[in-house]
Amino acid sequence: MRYYFRKLAFYLAALWAALTLNFFIPRLMPGNPVDTLMARLQQRGGSVDPSVRRSYELLLGTDTEEPLWGQYVSYLGNLLRGDLGISVSAFPAPAAEVIRQSLPWTIVLVGIATLLSFVIGITLGTLVGWRRGTWLDNLVPATTVLAAVPYFWLALILVALLGSALRWFPLMGGYDVILTPGWTWEFIGSAVYHGTLPALTIVISSVGGWLLGMRNMMVSAVSEDYILTARAKGLRDSRIMTHYASRNAVLPSVAGFAISLGFVVAGSIITEQVFSYPGIGGKLLQAVQNNDYALMQGIFLVITVAVLGTNLIVDLLYGLIDPRTRAGN
């Protein structure tokens, strides 16, 4: 029990440190959200007198008359109440509402693509590692080359080939703009159709890493004594491969997959930009460009909680699966 309390305390401390950095780092950037709003107001012919600026500072939580530590305490208090502030990029919408609308798009797209790349990579890695030295080993260099291709370049190639030349998939967007978002088969079909090409880009670029890792672990597992014992018992090769070798070889990959799920909420900024996909990655880039403290902090908070949460789950599960990890704690 002491082991689990220590793990929980460590992750709570890590969360506090991340929240602290989340507050200070945006404020070290040049400019501030008030200047952005004032510039927009001036372009539209609005009043830019000091009282208006003061109102915006109070609204956005960037009160220049309040010490930075006071703003930090207010920031932590607002987080406890679930108040992420007002987004400048989508003013006057709350940052939490912007995140709520864009996060499901990223979770569905990147989550499904990550799951597919994991399943495909592990399956191929199992077969390649089991039949090491055969023609299947030629799959490894091909997939690693694809993984080494710059991400934006691969996305642009697929857009040019499958979207522009062959017209199999739409070039941009998350759904047909003539449709109203909702739980209808027409809208869901349109969203799946528009998300296929971005998902394909993610799968192609990441499947090689899972394949290579699983292949190497399978090669190591096949040389273990328990595999030799299973063969001596006369078990079928397919059973040895799936029930003995792969079940042990996949453990490090499962841990990596669980951690990668935490980064799903971060989205893929490059993919979403290339395909103009309405996910959280595009909102993050927009927030950085507009010095949108509230939206940046909200997105970073979601990413931080997701990553720390999945890491904590993996640590706790490893403590249950392998008691040796709790030794000395």
**How far are the Cα atoms of 214, 215, 282, 323 from residue 250, in angstroms, in the given order?**
6, 10, 34, 18
- The label of the residue with tokens 């009043």 reads 47
Residue 286's alpha-carbon distances to 24, 61, 127, 296, 315, in angstroms, are 19, 19, 43, 9, 34
DSSP string, 3-31: HHHHHHHHHHHHHHHHHHHHHHHHHTSSS
Q: What is the pLDDT at residue 120?
A: 92
What pLDDT does 323 receive? 57
CB 306 within 8 A of CB 258: no
Beta carbons of 34 and 319 less than 8 angstroms apart: no
Question: Between the CA atoms of 229, 234, 238 and 244, what dihedral angle is there, to the nearest 10 degrees?
Answer: -20
Secondary structure of 200-267 as H, E, C letters: HHHHHHHHHHHHHHHHHHHHHHHCCHHHHHHHHCCCCHHHHHHHHHHHHHCHHHHHHHHHHHHHHHHC
| Residue ranges in the chain modelled with pLDDT below 50 | none
Helices in 89-224 by DSSP H: which ranges?
A: 95-130, 139-148, 151-158, 185-222
> Is residue 99 a contact partner of residue 302, using CB atoms and an 8 Å limit?
yes
**Predicted structure pTM score:** 0.77
CB atoms within 10 A of CB 163: 17
